[in-house]
Structure 1
Amino acid sequence: MQRIWNLLRDRNFVFMAALVCGLAAGQGAAYTQPLVIPSLAMVMTLATLSISGSLFRQPRRLMRPAVTGMLLSYLVQGGVILLLAWWLVPEPAYWQGLVVLAAVPPAVVVMPLAVCLDGDPDYSLVAMSGAYVGGLLLIPLIFLAFFGGEHLFRPELFFIILTLIVAPMAISRLILWRGWEGPILRWRGGITNWGFFLVLYTIVGLNRQVFLHEPWQLLHLIFLALASTLLVGEIVLWAARRRGLDPQRAKAMMLIASMKNYGLASGLCLALFGPTAAVPTTVATIAFVPYLLWLSWRLRPARA
């Protein structure tokens, strides 16, 4: 029984189960679609419990890593995504999805990975927080640059930014202030994984025809996903080490520069552009699973 329980809490198993269920029984995705945004809001709230308010009492000392986090996520990884999308992706809906992916901040999994892989958790936290705060301004600006005012002033965009970034930060501050985080943190991993299960299942189910009958049309998206994660991460790690940065900080920078918030991107795509635009974010999420396995080997802590 304990082995089954551990399996149900394993992120890789849950992600693959969502893919299989979406392909085999995707008809239910029409019913789960309205639950995607609430599920992501819950996941984001749980993730931002890691951000302590005391961390920001010395803003001058935090400015450099916060700006670095924004640059790594938006200029480096976002720039690579947009460049490869311009080069490889002719489909308008896929292009829209990739612009959204470039516009979102880093994945919330950066923090726990920094701890597990012997990175610098404090630097990761500040850099990630800087990218999220910057995202409040950068997401609308990127939408304005690529989509014009048509999508910038749609109420859905502001609703999602409010629901998936502002509200989770505010609610998590309330939970920490009231001291309610103890029992919540005990279940956070499982709730987060199954929240992502619902999101992945819905997107795969809504696009199962493409995944089942036209998989060759996804090859360029698979290449783009791997290049913007694995290749970008390796280059940033190499550059940080070459500059003589602390190994733990170099790992943290690699994580920030190679992981986007695929859940947030999927929610924006579904709400603003429809299921087809969410295909690139789904492909990127699926490619993210082997990338996590690669990181577990590549950045494994040295044995004493």
Structure 2
Amino acid sequence: MKQILNFIQNRNVILISALILAFTLPANAKHLKEYTILILGIVMTFSTTGIKFKMLSDYKSVLKVTFQSVLMNYIIHGTIILSIAYFLFDETIFNGFVVIAATPPGVAIIPFTYTFKGDLDYSFKGILGTYLLAILFTPLIISTFAENISLNPMIIILVIVKIIIIPIALSRFLLIKKVIPFTEKYRGKVVDWGFALIIYTAVAINRDIIFSNWIIVLKTSFVLIIAIFVSGIVYLFFTRKNNNKQLQISKNLMLTVKASGFAVAVTLILFKQKSAIPAAVMSILVLLWLISLNVYYSNNK
């Protein structure tokens, strides 16, 4: 019985099950869709309990980490995506890739930094800095590469408040002395199951789009596999002898993980539903990449 419970509670099993259910039983996603931000907020609240505000006291470090994060996630990752997608797709699908390039790093980086035992200080500074800069970068990138589009920065500001600022504030209550035992006991479970629900919802609501556009999906997968898997594996290869494993974990996540939920939402607001195919495919590939990293880091402790 204990072995069965351990199997069910295994992170990889939970996430893969979420992906399978998204394709086989997608109907419940419409009920979960409106709660996605709330679920993500809860996950972030538990994930950010390890963050100390003194991390931000060293402004030089904050600026350095933010610069590195922008370089990896916006410039390198974004350039790979746009330079390949430009030659493969029409304007409708290419606009979806533009949104991905303009999307900040995924907030999932923080909980998975905790899960992989990475550098939480680095990941938090990188996420915070890039999300603040997203107020400038996201509209700028979209307006530069996509035609006749304007983006209200308030959309991004509201996202930042809901999934970063409020959860960090609430996480302080989970650090109250009497609450810490509860936090330590359930933090991992909340992160795993919460992220599984988010993945299920993101994939399930785009299931029909994915199934009805296989050629586009395959071409999209090709672009994103290079941007996520190939770049991530290359990074692992060149940093394999680096002694600061925690930092390299965080940097790898910053290089390869975009906010797929953010990308889906913004794409649907600005473009046709078909333009959301790249973001929907990305949500699947990011999940597979995170599962792959989980296996890799578990076997290379």
TM-score, normalised with respect to structure 2: 0.79
Kindly tell me: are residues 211 and 83 of structure 1, through their superposed partners in 2, closer, same or farther at Cα, counting changes over 3 Å?
same
Once residues 199 and 115 of structure 1 are traced to their aligned partners in structure 2, the CA distance between those partners, rounded to angstroms, is 18
Letter of the aligned partner of 1:42 in structure 2?
Answer: I
Q: CA deviation at 1:186?
A: 3.1
1:288 matched to 2:281? The reply is: no
- Hey, what does 2:6 align to over in structure 1? 6
Kindly tell me: are residues 84 and 177 of structure 1, through their superposed partners in 2, closer, same or farther at Cα, counting changes over 3 Å?
farther
Letter of the aligned partner of 1:105 in structure 2?
Answer: P
Once residues 178 and 103 of structure 1 are traced to their aligned partners in structure 2, the CA distance between those partners, rounded to angstroms, is 41
Letter of the aligned partner of 1:162 in structure 2?
Answer: V
Once residues 220 and 50 of structure 1 are traced to their aligned partners in structure 2, the CA distance between those partners, rounded to angstroms, is 40
Kindly tell me: are residues 172 and 104 of structure 1, through their superposed partners in 2, closer, same or farther at Cα, counting changes over 3 Å?
farther
- Hey, what does 1:71 align to over in structure 2? 71
Q: CA deviation at 1:201?
A: 2.8
Q: Is the partner of 2:221 in helix, strand or coil?
A: helix
Once residues 145 and 96 of structure 1 are traced to their aligned partners in structure 2, the CA distance between those partners, rounded to angstroms, is 11
Once residues 171 and 32 of structure 1 are traced to their aligned partners in structure 2, the CA distance between those partners, rounded to angstroms, is 22
Kindly tell me: are residues 195 and 54 of structure 1, through their superposed partners in 2, closer, same or farther at Cα, counting changes over 3 Å?
same
Once residues 151 and 190 of structure 2 are traced to their aligned partners in structure 1, the CA distance between those partners, rounded to angstroms, is 32
Once residues 253 and 163 of structure 1 are traced to their aligned partners in structure 2, the CA distance between those partners, rounded to angstroms, is 24
Q: CA deviation at 1:21?
A: 2.1
Once residues 138 and 174 of structure 1 are traced to their aligned partners in structure 2, the CA distance between those partners, rounded to angstroms, is 33
Once residues 45 and 272 of structure 1 are traced to their aligned partners in structure 2, the CA distance between those partners, rounded to angstroms, is 29
- Hey, what does 1:35 align to over in structure 2? 35
Once residues 91 and 178 of structure 1 are traced to their aligned partners in structure 2, the CA distance between those partners, rounded to angstroms, is 55
Structure 1 moving runs of 4+ over 6 Å: none
Once residues 159 and 188 of structure 1 are traced to their aligned partners in structure 2, the CA distance between those partners, rounded to angstroms, is 25
In structure 2, list runs of 5 or more residues that go unmatched.
Answer: none
- Hey, what does 2:255 align to over in structure 1? 257
Once residues 280 and 162 of structure 2 are traced to their aligned partners in structure 1, the CA distance between those partners, rounded to angstroms, is 21
Identity %: 27
1:203–1:278 contact (8 Å) kept in structure 2: no
Letter of the aligned partner of 2:67 in structure 1?
Answer: V
2:231–2:256 contact (8 Å) kept in structure 1: yes
Aligned residues: 300
Once residues 200 and 250 of structure 1 are traced to their aligned partners in structure 2, the CA distance between those partners, rounded to angstroms, is 25
Q: CA deviation at 1:257?
A: 0.9
The worse-fitting range, judged by mean Cα deviation, of 228-237 and 51-60 is 228-237
Q: CA deviation at 1:302?
A: 5.5
CA root-mean-square deviation: 3.5
Q: CA deviation at 1:262?
A: 2.3
- Hey, what does 2:222 align to over in structure 1? 223
Once residues 67 and 160 of structure 1 are traced to their aligned partners in structure 2, the CA distance between those partners, rounded to angstroms, is 21
Q: CA deviation at 1:60?
A: 2.3
Once residues 10 and 205 of structure 1 are traced to their aligned partners in structure 2, the CA distance between those partners, rounded to angstroms, is 22
The worse-fitting range, judged by mean Cα deviation, of 147-156 and 258-267 is 147-156
1:225–1:287 contact (8 Å) kept in structure 2: yes
Once residues 53 and 199 of structure 2 are traced to their aligned partners in structure 1, the CA distance between those partners, rounded to angstroms, is 31
Q: Is the partner of 1:106 in helix, strand or coil?
A: coil
TM-score, normalised with respect to structure 1: 0.78
Kindly tell me: are residues 63 and 3 of structure 1, through their superposed partners in 2, closer, same or farther at Cα, counting changes over 3 Å?
same
1:164–1:264 contact (8 Å) kept in structure 2: no
Q: Deviation string for 1:209-229 (max 9, x for gaps)?
A: 343454333111211221111
